[in-house]
Amino acid sequence: NDRGEREIYEPLARELRRQQGWFERMRSAPATQGGEEPEPLKLDPSVLDEVARSIDKATTESRDGAAKP
């Protein structure tokens, strides 16, 4: 409406509550257990490249208005 008020979009509200719960659990847990450093991630760089291309494509389509809901 004219005051900028609108109904709450329930799927988004549920997702935000879920992410807030994750955030709160992460903030309350120690970063490491027993003083040990975590194992470094072993990722194949080609996988990261594919993810980056996918994100770039989705971002471009969204900005251009071409993304499908």
Q: What is the DSSP string of 37-54?
A: PPPPP---HHHHHHHHHH
Question: pLDDT (tens digit, 9 = 90+) per residue, 7-58?
Answer: 888 988 999 999 999 888 888 877 666 667 767 878 787 888 888 999 999 9
User: What confidence score (pLDDT) does residue 8 get?
Assistant: 85
| pTM score, whole prediction | 0.36
User: What confidence score (pLDDT) does residue 42 get?
Assistant: 82
Distance CA 43, CA 40 (A): 9
User: What confidence score (pLDDT) does residue 67 get?
Assistant: 46
Task: Please tell me what DSSP assigns to residue 31.
Answer: S
